[in-house]
Structure 1
Amino acid sequence: MIRFLAISFLAIVTLASCSLKTTEGLRQVHFNKEAVGNPYFSNPEIDYVYKAKIEVYKKNFGGILIIKKTGPESHRVVFTTEFGSKLFDFQFEGDTFTKHFIVDDLDKKFIVNILKDDFRLLVNEKAQVLAVYESENHRIYKTTSGDRFNFYFLEDETEQLQKIVNTTKTKEKVEIDFTSHEGNIADFISIKHKNIKLSINLEKFKNE
């Protein structure tokens, strides 16, 4: 009896440790939507300009971030100081990533890979849906990205994208939060990592 209880307890602990908080308490529902979209950087006629703050392991970088859609599956992401000195310049074309430039302080392989993954997730416009969940106020679309998953949180009434959570099978890794008052343009964007000291905060640039 004691052995049975011990095995049961271990099984419960193992299952709890393997469950994602992202889907905890959510109800899985049937769906007929094949793809979920991110509209915030989809217009090639707009230069998306943000005041940016990037914190990487106690190093802080501030300036202007510009995101430009340059083709059907292409985006250019450029980060400069307020005086115009370039900090990094990335290009995404489908699955191809090009590092045109990055300052020495950020030019570490693991940092470049993290920034690459963050901005690829940020500008990716469509992802194939694997499953759909419902909460009180959101419909959550599960998608896949390599050996990880992305969960897109869309507000029920407006169907506006409010959050993307990037996970492994058992742990949340990155969260992107969007605040938008103009529909398809995000006014504020926050990118936070759960297990490393890297965060990115973007505020839509307003012409004075």
Structure 2
Amino acid sequence: MRFLISSLILLLVGCGSYSAKMGFTEADSMALTVSNPYFFDTNTDYVYKAKIKVFNNDLGGILIIKKTAPAAHRIVFTTELGNTIFDFSIIDNEFKVNRVLKEIDRKILLNILEKDFKSLLHEQAEITKNYTDGHSTISAATIYGKPHFYTFKETQLERITRVGGQKEKVVFLFSEISNNIAKHIQINHKNLRFQIELKAFE
């Protein structure tokens, strides 16, 4: 119990320190939850041309994301010839590796991909605080035990930032948005060479 209380205090202090460091000021808001609408529709196959930079390797191909149930997504990354690089499922927050290419079947890589896709596909989270930077609304939330900051321009989600130790760890950028589909998505890690870029097929 003492460890839990200490962890919560450290988490709150870390979130507050990051917001102050970024020049955010607290904002009044009635919103209790924050939503990511980009992979919400079970009737849509979200298909992207993907480039993934993994340390010293560059992978290219097609990434397909499908919401298969209210709390489930399937993520499949293939070469343009159709060979599977990885095939994951997230069901009720549980991450399952259905298939993965031997060359990237490494625990560290799978852990990074798990965290990234869980953050990318997490649909709704409880807001802990709301901020503004003078131009955008920023909502702080904790998902999977990590602080995340959701940045909105008006009502459109443009950015998710995962924070650790008062610093940005991973930044998710959404652009070219139409009908709740982000046609361009970038996932940039700040402390290691790991990037994902997604461009929707028209």
Q: Same fold (TM over 0.5)?
A: yes
CA distance in 2, matches of 1:107, 1:22: 39
Contact 2:160 2:172 in 1 (8 A): yes
- Structure 2 match to 1:143: 141
- Structure 1 match to 2:169: 173
Q: Indicate the larger mover: 18-27 or 120-129.
A: 18-27
More strand by share: 2
Unaligned runs of 5+ in 1: 1-14
- Structure 2 match to 1:111: 109
Instruction: For 1:47, give the aligned amino acid.
Output: D
How far is the alpha carbon of 1:30 from its aligned partner?
2.6
- Structure 1 match to 2:193: 197
Residues 1:184 and 2:173 are matched in the alignment: no
CA RMSD of aligned residues (A): 1.7
Contact 1:155 1:161 in 2 (8 A): yes
Residues 1:153 and 2:148 are matched in the alignment: no
For the pair shown, which has the larger CA radius of gyration, 1 or 2?
1
CA distance in 2, matches of 1:40, 1:94: 18
CA distance in 2, matches of 1:161, 1:51: 21
Residues 1:20 and 2:4 are matched in the alignment: no
How far is the alpha carbon of 1:29 from its aligned partner?
1.6
How far is the alpha carbon of 1:169 from its aligned partner?
4.1
Q: Deviations over 1:94-139 (max 9, x none)?
A: 2211100111121110100000110111111101100000122210
Unaligned runs of 5+ in 2: 1-12
CA distance in 2, matches of 1:53, 1:93: 25
How far is the alpha carbon of 1:22 from its aligned partner?
7.9
Instruction: For 1:130, give the aligned amino acid.
Output: T
Percent identity of the aligned residues? 38
Residues 1:133 and 2:126 are matched in the alignment: no
In the TM superposition, structure 1's runs of 4+ consecutive aligned residues that sit over 4 Å from their partners are none
CA distance in 2, matches of 1:116, 1:147: 14
CA distance in 2, matches of 1:123, 1:115: 12
CA distance in 1, matches of 2:20, 2:99: 35
Contact 1:160 1:183 in 2 (8 A): no
CA distance in 2, matches of 1:92, 1:146: 13
Residues 1:46 and 2:64 are matched in the alignment: no
How far is the alpha carbon of 1:23 from its aligned partner?
5.5
